[in-house]
Amino acid sequence: MRTGRLLLGTNWKMNKTIRESVDYTRRLLGLLDRFDRSDAVQVFVIPPYTAIEAVKRASEGRLWVGAQNMHWAERGAYTGEISALMLQELGVDLVELGHAERRRYFNETDADVNRKVHTALQYGFKPLVCVGEQLEDKRRGIGKETVKNQVRTIFANVETDCAPRLIVAYEPVWAIGAEHADVGIEYVREMQAYIRTSLEEMLGRSAAAMVTVIYGGDVNLRNAATLVSESGTDGLFVGRAAWEAENFAELIRASLKAIG
């Protein structure tokens, strides 16, 4: 269901100093320069907060640069949090919200993510929202129901004209950080199609078609090409396999080849 450029991105989590982040960005851009048709993909990186400004500068407008989280309030007594106003100053393009690790270690709920989505849209960012079922949900046969409930809460009261800015990362929690998760192309296709149907119920058919739905969870050089060519995904969201610029570049090259 891809309508635009293939979206390929990576979240660095709590890794990389400013120097390492800039070095990675320069190396990645240098490698992308060697590819034909690199404009067929939009690449994004999500550094830790401390490196956002430096990466944004080093990326020369060629990469989208994101933040890994954001508070819903503009300012206030929220020790340790970062607001949309602060991220706006850094020129971030997107904000990742509701990653499985935010939910697991920081008790973030779908209702929290909904508030953050509204703030992100208000400040002009693209919210990149992570949804996905736990292994237990899958085993009990309620994986689809789980993602539908997530979509319903997270996108409640979102205006249809915001749809082109919404990015949903379908990330089955049991595949994140796993070795050989072996998710299966058919499974990804089915779950992403179900997410799109759930979005249709929220936003209507034509707006839902404008939402970008990407896949994440043990994406690597072995499965990237098949995922982009056979699962119907709009892109890939990569952790470990993209933490070295050379590896990410190889994955981008394989994806470009796969879309022909």
**Site stretch for ligand PEP (CB under 6 A), options 66-74, 118-126, 146-154, 211-219:** 211-219
Q: Tell me if residue 214 falls in helix, strand or coil.
A: strand
Q: Assess 177 for contact with ligand PEP (CB under 6 A).
A: yes
Q: Assess 171 for contact with ligand PEP (CB under 6 A).
A: yes
In the complex, which residue's CB is closest to ligand PEP? 239
- Residue among 37, 40, 10, 36 at smallest CA distance from 25: 10
**Site stretch for ligand PEP (CB under 6 A), options 120-128, 148-156, 203-211, 217-225:** 217-225
DSSP annotation string for 50-67: HHHHHHHHHTTTSSEEEE
Q: Tell me if residue 212 falls in helix, strand or coil.
A: strand
Q: Measured from the CB of residue 96, what is the shortest distance to ligand PEP in angstroms?
A: 9
Amino acid at 92: V
Q: Assess 240 for contact with ligand PEP (CB under 6 A).
A: yes
Name residues whose C-beta falls within 8 Å of residue 155's C-beta, 6 or more positions apart in sequence.
114, 117, 129, 166, 199, 202, 203
Q: Assess 216 for contact with ligand PEP (CB under 6 A).
A: yes
Amino acid at 49: Y
Pairing mode of beta strands 167-170, 212-216? parallel
Residue 171 annotated to the active site: yes
Catalytic residue among 71, 96, 99, 108: 99
DSSP-derived secondary structure letter, 174 = G
Q: Measured from the CB of residue 226, what is the shortest distance to ligand PEP in angstroms?
A: 15
Q: Measured from the CB of residue 28, what is the shortest distance to ligand PEP in angstroms?
A: 17
Nearer to ligand PEP, 123 or 243 (CB): 243
**Site stretch for ligand PEP (CB under 6 A), options 25-33, 67-75, 169-177, 184-192:** 169-177
CB atoms within 10 A of CB 139: 11
Kindly list the catalytic residues.
99, 171
Q: Which residues bind ligand PEP (CB under 6 A)?
A: 11, 171, 176-177, 216-219, 237-241
